[in-house]
Amino acid sequence: MEIQARAKINWTLDVVGRRGDGYHMLDMLMQPLTLCDTLRIEPADALSLGIEGADGLSADDDNLILRAARALQTAAGIDAGASVHLTKRIPMGAGLGGGSADAAAALKGLNAFWGIGYDLDKLCAIGVKLGADVPFCLHDAPRRAQGIGEILFPIESRVFPLVLIQPCEALSTKEVFSAYHQSHIAPPDTENALAALAAGNLNALKASAGNVLESASIPLRPRIAEAKAALYEAGAAFAQMTGSGSVVFGAFESKAAADQAFEALKTRYPVCIRTATAC
């Protein structure tokens, strides 16, 4: 069995509160991408994981794929085996949800592979304990995410050509949120951003969308602002950091415009990816 684990971007990210346990309450508009990792699952007596395409990613017990597999085994009361092979394409430490996507793919794939038969709600209940973005990745469709990211509502969006740039080293979520709490950052206009996404209007999206963690991150990683400016100079209609960084994406009015920007930027940025949103 092979299953895709699709990356995501944040069109909006707003921090609206904080729970007593320290988790931030968020309001986000997110959409999956055609950019994806791939999990291949084969029969085996024991559970194992192999990885290609990510030298720095551990295949030990702390890997989210193995954690997801064991959480599923525990919930179902089984001790089944499987050989899982991950082909990694989503940059790590990027704000693209790669780890969460891999965990979600493991839950969805092994649920079918082992014949467990859990529905999406049950898988989400298991997944949210692994990471706040895992339920979104299990839904694998445009969603408004609230709570810590686990309360999901369908939204309408379009296919937008994208160029992704990772201009600097990864940011820790903790340091980004710490910087956010020391700043005064205007929130995005989420309702108007919803309407702009549904209409496919990138100009209106530029006027209403936003990521409050971007402004907090730029003083820590100035190259984020430089990459955003480079995407606009290359013709992006809208550019923004995704998640807690460090990837910046540019959305374009046409595939031709995105292709041209990619050709102009790929020699300047070692991590430069041509992709698109997926509905």
CB of 180 within 8 A of CB of 216? Answer: yes
Which is catalytic among the residues 27, 37, 102, 133? 133
> Could you tell me the CA-to-CA distances from 212 to 17, 77, 138, 172, 230 in Å, in that order?
13, 42, 25, 15, 20
CB of 135 within 8 A of CB of 128? Answer: yes
Omega cis (within 30) before 246:
yes
Q: How far apart are CA 121 and CA 138, in angstroms?
A: 9
CB of 30 within 8 A of CB of 143? Answer: yes
DSSP state of 73: H
Strand partners, 153: 144
Q: How far apart are CA 147 and CA 15, in angstroms?
A: 10
DSSP string, 195-223: HHHHHT-HHHHHHH-EEHHHHHHTTT-TH
Q: How far apart are CA 100 and CA 156, in angstroms?
A: 22
DSSP string, 235-255: T-SEEEE-TTSS-EEEE-SSH
Which is catalytic among the residues 8, 88, 108, 206? 8
Whether residue 133 lies in the annotated active site: yes
Whether residue 266 lies in the annotated active site: no
Active site residues: 8, 133
